[in-house]
Structure 1
Amino acid sequence: MPLPLDATFRDALAGADRPLTGMWVCSGSPLIAELCAGAGLDWLLIDAEHSPNGLESILAQLQAVHGYPVQAMVRPPVNDTVLIKQYLDLGVQNLLIPMVHSVGDAEAAVAATRYPPAGVRGVGSALARASRWNRVPGYLADAEATLSVTVQIESSAAVSAVEAILAVDGVDAIFVGPSDLAASMGVLGQQEHPEVRAAVEHCLAAAQKAGKPAGVNAFNPATARHYLAGGASFILVGADVALLARGSEALATQFIPAPDDDSPVSY
């Protein structure tokens, strides 16, 4: 039976009349992913770079959130051709590639998502959920249209090269990570540092000039609103694990005398 695939994050951005708001899903739990999928947010980022997610748990979370009115993006732990191939074959349609510092990194990420001759993705559609086991008509010819590639700008080198990275064919959007960016700028843990904010704003402006969407991570509501006013097309404003951590701490504070608090230095 012929089957369709979902629209991509690129399509959602193109059709949106406002910035898209999302959250991280880092627990590795399909149940939590599904709970978040029904919250009314626009998108979820299932993370495998800093979270306990492997191929099986990513697959389970994709299945759990499928059918909800939310876009699912997945971040692999590394910009690796083999791993990206496996993610795509699982049915990941929207990728966030971390630590893209240069044009070469961006080109490698795009090539990993394209079948030859346009790229280097291995061909296994008959075996893979991506094509619904060859139940999606014309998948091999049209696979590129079923995918979106967002690359992460999170170093001083990437900020310096952001205009060239944006110009890479196949890069649909950029996403700025202030935590790693702050570390690369010598102000570890200071996402609100004026130089970090200026670098984020530079990337947002460069994306607007290039006509491509740019997103940013900002858990501080005031900072999030500042970047949205500055042209961010999409944003992440929280994480499942952070919400649970802060919520459980609030319960403890309400009923148990607390020791001196050391505020976290990072998101």
Structure 2
Amino acid sequence: MSLRVDPTFREALAAARRPLIGMWVCSGSPLVAEICAGSGLDWLLVDAEHSPNGLESLLAQLQAVHGYPVTPLVRPPVGDPVVIKQYLDLGVQNLLIPMVDTAEQAAAMVSAVEYPPRGIRGVGSALARGSRWNRVPDYLRTARETVSLYLQIESAEAVGNVEAIVSTPGVDGVFIGPSDLAASMGVLGEQDHPEVVAAVEHCLRVAAAAGVKVGLNAFAPALAQRYLTAGADFILVGADVQLLARGSERLAAEFIGETS
């Protein structure tokens, strides 16, 4: 039997006529991931950097959201070639790599998603969901076409190197993380600090000039709208755990009131 894999986030962005709107999925729950997948949002970021996710829970969430009109991206805890190999074999097609500060690191991540001789990805497709256990025709030759790669700009160093990072062949896009960027710039917790906003908008301009897709995280609606107006191609505007935390707090406030 011959099978095919899903379109990538790269393809979704290329076909989009507006910015793509998404949310974090951080709970580690396949049920929550499936609920979010049917919300009408364009994409989900399943996080394993700051969330309780291992290979088994990632697999369950990928299976839970499959078939819904949403594109899942997965963020590993670190840009390690061994971890990336495991994710790709698991069937992750869209990767968001945290903490990429230089063009050299960017090139290493590109190498990690490509088979030799162009890259260093280990060959285990016969054993892996990524190739549907060798049911995807000619997978080894076409595997790179089934994967899209996005790198996080989230430090002052990365902002300084953004031109070189977005110019790295094989990088499909960059994603700006204002929280870590603010910390790196000495204004921890102030994602709306004027210098942080200026750095974000600088990255938006550089990526646009290079013809590279660029996204970011912005939970504050006014800031999200500002960045969308400034040219963001994709954006995260909420998170499953955040919605549950704030929603449950509202219930408590409404029916119990202030507690001492």
Same fold at TM > 0.5: yes
- The reply on whether 1:204 has 2:220 as its aligned counterpart is no
The list of structure 1 runs, each at least 4 consecutive aligned residues, that deviate by more than 6 angstroms after superposition, is: none
Superposed displacement of residue 256, structure 1: 1.6
Look up the SS of the partner of 1:121 in the other structure: coil
Unmatched runs of 5 consecutive residues or more in structure 2: none
CA separation in 1, counterparts of 2:227 and 2:259? 35
Aligned to 2:123: 123
Alignment of 1:1-267 (within 5 A): 1-259=1-259
Q: Which moved more, 1:31-40 or 1:102-111?
A: 102-111
Unmatched runs of 5 consecutive residues or more in structure 1: 261-267
May I ask how many residue pairs the two structures share in their alignment?
260
CA separation in 1, counterparts of 2:145 and 2:74? 17
After superposition, the C-alpha distances for 1:161-200 in whole angstroms (9 at most, x for unaligned) are 0010000011000000000000000000000000000000
TM-score by length of 1: 0.97
CA separation in 2, counterparts of 1:28 and 1:109? 25
CA separation in 1, counterparts of 2:101 and 2:8? 24
Look up the SS of the partner of 2:135 in the other structure: coil
User: What RMSD in Å do the two structures reach over aligned CA positions?
Assistant: 0.7
Superposed displacement of residue 257, structure 1: 2.5
Look up the SS of the partner of 2:199 in the other structure: helix
After superposition, the C-alpha distances for 1:71-129 in whole angstroms (9 at most, x for unaligned) are 00000000000000000000000000000000111111111100001100000000000
Look up the SS of the partner of 1:88 in the other structure: helix
Look up the SS of the partner of 2:209 in the other structure: helix
CA separation in 1, counterparts of 2:46 and 2:108? 22
Q: Which amino acid aligns with 1:242?
A: Q
Look up the SS of the partner of 2:250 in the other structure: helix
TM-score by length of 2: 0.99
